[in-house]
Amino acid sequence: MSEALFIAVEVEERAARDAELAAKLEEVCPVDIFRAGENGVEIVEENLDECVLCELCINAAPPGVVRVVKLYSGETLPA
């Protein structure tokens, strides 16, 4: 369970195992929400609320693979 109050990040399960995507997400995120781990994309839970809603992760991944959920409003990016 995430301790984030404002933001949740979801990565489509099959894509999350892609080492190339993991490295790309780790590189583009300005607040280090993603880590490229041995099994692909890892979410750094303690950094979730640092998200600046820049959408760089969404744009770096194939369509529909990464979603950012604003927990305070229920809105999901991409809309």
pLDDT in tens, 8-33: 999 999 999 999 999 999 999 999 99
pLDDT band (50, 70, 90) for residue 2:
low
Report the CATH number that the domain containing residue 44 is assigned in CATH: 3.30.70.20
Name, in order, each residue with C-beta under 8 angstroms of 67's C-beta and a sequence gap of 6 or more. 9, 10, 11, 58, 76, 77, 78
The average pLDDT across 41-57 equals 96
Q: In percent, how much of the chain has pLDDT > 90?
A: 94
* Whole-prediction pTM: 0.91
Domains contained in the chain, number:
1
Answer whether residue 19 is part of any domain.
Answer: yes
**Domain carrying residue 22:** 7-77
**Does residue 1 sit within a domain?**
no
Distances (CA, A) of 46 to 6, 8, 10, 43: 12, 11, 15, 9
pLDDT of 1 higher than 70: no
State both tokens at 72. Answer: 């305070």
